[in-house]
């Protein structure tokens, strides 16, 4: 058996270049998927920030006494009263909380928060029972002498006792492919619970 000491086993530069080309071609789809995932995460983050900002702001507004915001807007009548609409920034601070409406920076995005408060007149109906007309032998409550559809209060609808709060957060997804305006809306109610 003869051994040629000048014959070497190894990899040529061409083989290395070919292997690198195949490896880089395999990574292109992986990088594309990662880039799509990052954009999706950024989009979800802007939505989450908008939702959290809107919820925090509405919770702050609901903590204020029933008529404070309307009184600070200088409103009277039946409303609706709008705070923080375009060109109408609104700040209201107490010792323990700060309510800011209009344009609000959150991270790298600008959100617009608009709060609309409207007075909701209400009335309700109830059935009044006349105990004197009850048939003692009857086991059916419908036969116990109910007076139907009695309105309470009897004269007109009540106002100034119940407010509807609608907070709308809008923003643009800057840097994302669609660039559309996003909107998130929260609706809540508040009643005047103390005696008039």
pLDDT per residue as tens digits for the range 105-135: 877 788 899 999 988 877 666 667 666 665 5
Q: Do 88 and 144 contact (CB within 8 A), yes or no?
A: no
Kindly indicate the confidence band of residue 175, based on its pLDDT and cuts at 50, 70 and 90.
low
Asked if the model's pLDDT at residue 170 lies above 60, the reply is yes
Neighbours of 171 (CB within 10 A): 21
Kindly indicate the confidence band of residue 161, based on its pLDDT and cuts at 50, 70 and 90.
confident
Task: Write out the residue range of the structural domain in which residue 137 sits.
Answer: 123-156
Q: State whether 138 and 167 are in the same domain.
A: no
Q: State whether 51 and 99 are in the same domain.
A: yes
Structure tokens at 95: 């010792």
Return d(Cα 191, Cα 165) in angstroms, integer. Answer: 11
Would you state the torsion angle of the CA atoms of residues 107, 108, 114, 115, taken in this order, to the nearest 10 degrees? 0
Neighbours of 145 (CB within 10 A): 14
Q: State whether 107 and 186 are in the same domain.
A: yes
Q: State whether 47 and 83 are in the same domain.
A: yes
Q: What is the pLDDT, as a whole number, of residue 165?
A: 93
Q: How much is the average pLDDT of 152-181?
A: 74
Q: State whether 137 and 150 are in the same domain.
A: yes
CA angle 109, 114, 119 (to 5 degrees): 165
CA angle 178, 37, 55 (to 5 degrees): 70
Q: Per the domain annotation, does 45 fall within a domain?
A: yes
User: CB neighbours of 176 closer than 8 A, spacing ≥ 6?
Assistant: 39, 42, 43, 46
Q: State whether 74 and 163 are in the same domain.
A: yes
What percent of the chain clears pLDDT 90, i.e. is strictly above it?
14
Neighbours of 66 (CB within 10 A): 17
The count of residues in the chain is 196
Q: How many domains does the chain have?
A: 2
Q: State whether 74 and 166 are in the same domain.
A: yes
DSSP letter at 158? B
Q: Per the domain annotation, does 8 fall within a domain?
A: no
Kindly indicate the confidence band of residue 58, based on its pLDDT and cuts at 50, 70 and 90.
very high
Return d(Cα 43, Cα 61) in angstroms, integer. Answer: 27
Q: Per the domain annotation, does 180 fall within a domain?
A: yes
Kindly indicate the confidence band of residue 92, based on its pLDDT and cuts at 50, 70 and 90.
confident
Continuous segment of H or E residues that includes residue 20? helix 13-63
What percent of the chain clears pLDDT 70, i.e. is strictly above it?
67
Q: State whether 152 and 171 are in the same domain.
A: no
């Amino acid at each position: 058996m003869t051994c040629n000491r000048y014959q070497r086993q190894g990899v040529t530069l061409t083989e290395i270049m070919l292997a690198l080309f195949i490896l880089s071609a395999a990574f292109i789809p992986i990088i594309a998927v990662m880039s799509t995932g990052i954009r999706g995460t950024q989009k979800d983050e802007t939505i989450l920030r908008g939702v959290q900002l809107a919820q925090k702001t509405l919770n702050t507004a609901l903590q204020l006494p029933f008529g404070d915001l309307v009184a600070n807007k200088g409103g009277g009548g039946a409303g609706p009263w709008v705070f923080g609409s375009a060109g109408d920034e609104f700040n209201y601070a107490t010792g323990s909380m700060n309510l800011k409406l209009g344009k609000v920076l959150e991270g790298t995005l600008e959100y617009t928060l608009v709060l609309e408060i409207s007075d909701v007149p209400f009335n309700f109906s109830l059935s009044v029972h006349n105990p004197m007309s009850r048939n003692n032998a009857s086991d059916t409550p419908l036969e116990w002498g109910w007076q139907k559809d009695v309105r309470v209060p009897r004269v007109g609808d009540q106002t100034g006792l119940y407010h509807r709060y609608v907070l709308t957060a809008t923003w643009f997804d800057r840097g994302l492919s669609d660039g559309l305006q996003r909107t998130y809306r929260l609706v809540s109610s508040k009643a005047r619970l103390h005696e008039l």
